[in-house]
Structures are given as C-alpha cells and as structure tokens.
Amino acid sequence: MKRPTEQLLDDVLAEAAPPGFRAALLDRTLRQARRRKQIRRWNLALSAAAGVALLTFAFWNAREPRTASTPARRPDLVIVHSRPLNPAQVVSTRPGAVQMVSSSASTFRLVQTRMERLYEEIDDQQLLALVSGKPVALIHRGPNQAELIFLNREDEKGVHLQ
C-alpha cells in the first residue's frame, strides 16, 4: 500500500503532467541523488587525504631536532666621555717624605664586638599561631621560599611581624 503522499503525487502527476514528465522527473531526481553521493565520496576522500597530510607533517616536524636559535644581540654599551682631572685635585706622595708616624696608646682602643642575632627564625606552625583568628594562607613556592597571604587586607595592617 502506498503512503498518502505518494498517492497524492501519483494523482497530481496523472492529471496535469504530460506522459514523459514523470520519467524526466524520476531521471533528474536520480541524477541529483547520484551527484550528492559523489560529492559525499569526494569530501570523504579529501578529508582522509588532509588527515594523512596532517599526520605526516606532524611526524616530520617531530623528527627534526629542535634547536633554540636566539639571534646574537650586540651588548648595550654605555660610552663615558671624561676629561682629565685638574692637577690641583690630584694627590701624590713621594717616597721618604714622612720620616716616622708616632702614636700613643691613648689614641686607639681595642673594641671587641659579638654578633647578635637580630631576629629569631620560626617555623610554619609558630607563624600561623601568631596570626591565629585571621584568615590567612601560607603558600610554599619552593623548598626555601614561602609567602603568607592575608585574605582580608584589613588584617594585614593590624599584624606586625618582626
């Protein structure tokens, strides 16, 4: 049994169209369907060829050794132009000009100093205890590098870490 649309098409074509129209219509429809199928195949073949070309290019570039070529740059030179000093500004000495330098014991004194630590190192737990009750984050950027971040900027002003 034919669908209603096919039956309607048969009825319309049977009444209004000349006898060769149906054959011409089916022939043209068949050519268009073949053409669409041919275009789909061409698109598929071109896509496959582009994919193969892309993979070949990627593998070709991966095989070549990468060398970082930084162009040689001339150093930034600073040229200083100077004039000779005024002879009155030059201090010179002559051997034997001073016979003897004398000093008494009262002019110098031996002072011994000791090195005091001006700060005390604390660990992360002691640091966080100093800022307890305030929202902070301690970020370690490396083995010897850490940063304390206050989440509220107002809290940062009230804490004096020395």
> Tell me: the pLDDT tens digits for 124-162?
888 888 888 888 888 888 888 888 888 887 777 766 555
pLDDT of residue 43: 96
Interatomic CA distance for residues 139 and 145, integer angstroms: 9
pLDDT > 90? residue 46: yes
Domain residue ranges of the chain, discontinuous segments joined by +: 4-63, 123-162
| Model confidence pLDDT, tens digit, residues 71-109 | 777 777 778 888 888 888 888 787 877 777 666 656 667
Mean pLDDT across 40-63: 91
Res 1 pLDDT > 60: no
pLDDT at 160: 58
pLDDT value at residue 107: 66
Average pLDDT, integer, range 26-31: 89
Neighbours of 56 (CB within 10 A): 10
Of 34, 38, 16, whose CA–CA distance to 26 is shortest? Answer: 34
pLDDT greater at residue 40 or residue 121: 40
Query: Can you spell out the DSSP letters for 96-134?
Result: TS-------GGG-------PPPSS----HHHHHHHTTTS
User: Mean pLDDT, the chain, as a whole number?
Assistant: 79
Structure tokens that stand for 71 in this block:
């162009």
Contacts of 148 (CB under 8 A, 6+ apart): 127, 131, 136, 137, 138, 139
